[in-house]
Amino acid sequence: MVSNLLIGPLPLIADKDIGITIPVATPALLIMRRVNRLAFRVASWHDNAPMPPASPSHRTEPPLCVDLDGTLIASDTLADSFCRMVRQAPLTALQAPLWLLYGWPRLKDEMVARTVLPVTHLPYRPEVLRHLRREREKGREILLVTASAQRIAEDVAATTQLFDEVIGSAHGEGLLGTRKAQRLVERFGVGGFDYIGDCRADLAVWAKARRSLVVGGEPLVRQARRVAEVEAVFAVPAPGRSTWMEAMASRSWPWLFLLAPAALLFATGEGGGSLATTGLIAAVFCLGFAAFALLDGLMALDADRADSQRRHRPFASGRLPVLHGVLLFGALLLAAAGIAPLLPWPWGLAFAGYAALELGLAFRPGVRERWFDIPASKRESLPAVTPP
């Protein structure tokens, strides 16, 4: 039995039957030696080559799940959709209370079916986007898990290009709080994912997560630390009085300087009213000016966000919650309407005319677009707003 061996500079033939080794330098064996050397070099190069990126099945970090409303963006897509519906189809928006009787999921489904929210100019949180980009560069799996409508979540994922999968609410299912936690536990198990959230409803999700990432203030961070390890905090300052005053700044306020002298003359003239009546006049118009200033900001959300300068306004930037603005507008308008019957009829009629004018502008989409929206012919000359 004879076998070939590569020993030394020349191949040898070893005869195991007779126990001797004979060096042989035939041309065929020299060619075989060159081929073996070349194969050895190729194998060495392959062993020293850099490893390819790990496949998703070999990722060491657990998936990172991200909330949408208040977390990835500073606003609420449901409130934004409602304001857009009021501006475009006010009569349809009147059905919102009826939809709400069947629950929040039904309201979201109806809103999504009737409005298309432009997600490119939503107020994305830059610090959250930077964190997600860093994690994606590491090859980490990132999911958008939100109680918002599935279609809106998919549009956001397509705009940001940061998510491997989108899990949203659809077909009457509200993916919020314990339901979201249950869905993620069924998918990844307890402690099998990290989660970024922004509100108390996310405490149920953090309790099942490995680590929590909090978007909010110190009170929410303390609550999150009680149920899970907090990996990162994205601080969000609470809106102050100056922010609300900025939102209530209106083009109508200069009229107050004209109404004040007229009210004083009414109070001090012959047959005039008392100073208390003058105070009521001032109160009604101040409440009206503030209410309709909020309405202006709410109805101009899309136009403000598409403009490189106006997108920093309180509602457009997300510094003030749109839902809070809607509620405050309703409260101020109801207060003004409750006091108006106590005024003398000329002043009550003046306020009714002013309120009708403002409401007519708000519920007339064509007029409102000419006042607030950016004409298509001028959009090209405006500074571009960089998408996320």
pLDDT for the residue 110: 87
Query: How far apart, in whole angstroms, are the C-alpha atoms of residue 39 and residue 36?
Result: 5
pLDDT for the residue 278: 78
pTM of the model: 0.74
Q: Which domains does the chain have, with CATH numbers?
A: 2-48 (no CATH), 58-235 (3.40.50.1000), 241-379 (1.10.357)
Kindly state the helix (H) or strand (E) to which residue 26 belongs, with its residue range.
Answer: none
pLDDT for the residue 37: 58
67 vs 15, 71, 247, CA distance in Å?
A: 75, 6, 27
What is the mean pLDDT for each group of 10 consecutive residues in the chain (388 residues)?
41 42 48 55 44 47 94 94 88 88 84 89 95 94 93 94 91 83 94 94 94 94 93 91 86 63 60 69 88 89 87 93 94 93 85 86 55 44 42
325 and 297 Cβ atoms separated by less than 8 Å: yes
- List, in order, residues 6 or more apart from 218 with CB less than 8 Å away: none
Phi then psi for 66, rounded to 5 degrees? -125, 130
From the list 155, 167, 151, the residue with the least C-alpha distance to 120 is 155
**3-state SS, residue 196:** strand
pLDDT for the residue 75: 94
